[in-house]
Chains A and B, each alone.
Chain A
């Protein structure tokens, strides 16, 4: 329509105000805050790169062990992402039919994505509970002594990964794969049938070439989510413990900002998290512009 004048500007104004007030201003503040020391009691005080130095270590000082642990935990837990993507891929291939009950199944496997993660993590806490939990009992049936899961630092990370895997397979990633599968021309399937190709060949020669860009996309999104997220799971399922073995970066940031009153350090952790995922954002953006 390209009407000239200021009318159009008034339409975009509410959006702009919201974006500026709740996104741009906070983001700029966060950058500034990461160079300050602030405990809410006094005004923020400029300390330069001190927060970063104390986290990452200086020539004379060791890096903050708590930070290193959180970083390590986050990276270990994010190793679950490739498994998630693989599982979603297989599940999508199996559920790619329009018939009635598979449609129903698609909804069932999507439930963990739909509902509040808090409710799910409460359920899993009950499942992992070493006295009354179902897992302990099942393992007992096959004659294995159940590990203490969430009470044992060695087993807490696998437990968290198990929950994330359960939550993630059948969620958005599967949905993207399903959308991708729909784009494969029907003729390809017909040809495969005429040539009598088995499932293995079909996976290799039809599904994989069509879906490999989606695999990259899902891996990218998955790692983004794994590095930035992980707050709820640490907060509800494990409380970051035992012995901080499941404290993720985002939970560490929350602790700094809201529990230890070290808001500057919290902001610095946030910036480091952002820098960690920046390459992924760039790669994803480039993919998008290439079509």
Chain B
């Protein structure tokens, strides 16, 4: 193969300042504007696989469905098992299959918004993919982001995934009925969260005993 190299005077640099996350950010703003026009508040739930996002959303739906029109968007890489569980409560559920994608994006959420009648809704709970890194970079158009961590994920959960908390408004520390067995301190986890972001709301919950669920519901209705 013959290779020729460009002489320095033949090399050019073009300045662009092209933002790579802007396309998603723009769609997120459009989603937000659409939801605002219909008076709908979307809340994005992020957290690891097994942190209890689906169970928490199910419990919140039970508590709030008589007072509010609620829909759930359920992000899942492959299955619809979570969506099926929530759909039993007779509310609109949209399964968003990312086909192995590691996060939801604003485009997918925008498409999900077209599948339901927004005029009948007040709240949409968006369950993100079980992943604690990627979703942080991709706003969806929600009014608040909730991070669900559980004591079963160990004592260093928050320190290991700091980025996720910087963009969130509410942190739910879940499965506190298991804290003693796991030898994990809920107070230490909460302190780590506040070290990262002092004004974030932290609520300790157990979906098994029901403790804290009322506070989460109240916090989400108030955003």
* A and B held together in a complex: no
Interface residues of A (CB under 8 A from B): none
Interface residues of B (CB under 8 A from A): none
